[in-house]
A and B are shown apart, each in its own frame.
Chain A
Amino acid sequence: DQQVKQNSPSLSVQEGRISILNCDYTNSMFDYFLWYKKYPAEGPTFLISISSIKDKNEDGRFTVFLNKSAKHLSLHIVPSQPGDSAVYFCAATHRAQGAQKLVFGQGTRLTINP
């Protein structure tokens, strides 16, 4: 049972344009969502997060949007840079179950083309 889904295994975007990565979840108990970035041979690196009481969180070039009614979140990267090429994972957790237990999506490989 895949509770967090990233339906696009890969995405290719031109440098300078907007990258939009999508994530859907099925468990309505999730109340905290995160995005991680992973380079080859490295562990995931935390990027940005959002609590279920918000619908938007922004940090520099990265913005995460949460649509609770649709159980959908997205990560926007503007403008996209070559160094953004990596695999992006969305993750979710809920406090009742112990917040350190993250449920991850399958990941989306983002490639930024010069």
Chain B
Amino acid sequence: KAGVTQTPRYLIKTRGQQVTLSCSPISGHRSVSWYQQTPGQGLQFLFEYFSETQRNKGNFPGRFSGRQFSNSRSEMNVSTLELGDSALYLCASSWGAGATYNEQFFGPGTRLTVL
């Protein structure tokens, strides 16, 4: 069974631009969560999608948004990029969502560098 895949793996953008990252979950998984990893803040939860609906949201500005498609693939978008957005963006998929924890499987991440 294929794991979580994320594209692209590396990305370089300049301030003010926008970026879209893609995540394909493990087949059969319906929940996709996004995390940002930076050296200073560690891993921080961005948002979670289940059945094309955002179920949870972290404390990030509105420049960070996401969506999920009917095949459970998810995209996240960051508009008006800032230098501080440079980070590793991780996607995790799990079978279900809601109040019962389902083990999350992480992808390798997309390394975003903002110049």
Contact = CB atoms under 8 A, between A and B. Distances in A.
Contacts, number: 71
SS of B interface (majority): strand
A20 B42 CA distance: 20
Nearest to B49: A100
Interface in B88-115: 90, 92, 94, 97-109
Contact of B90 (A43, A106, A107): A43
Given A42-B108, A98-B55, A98-B56, A105 B42 contact: yes
B100 A103 contact: no
B107 A43 contact: yes
Nearest to B55: A98
Interface in B55-81: 55-56, 58
A101 interface: yes
Task: Bin the interface of chain A by size.
Answer: 20 to 34
B43 interface: yes
A42 B44 CA distance: 17
Nearest to B107: A43
Contacts of A45: 106
Contacts of B102: 99-100
A44 interface: yes
Contact of A32 (B33, B35, B101, B106): B101
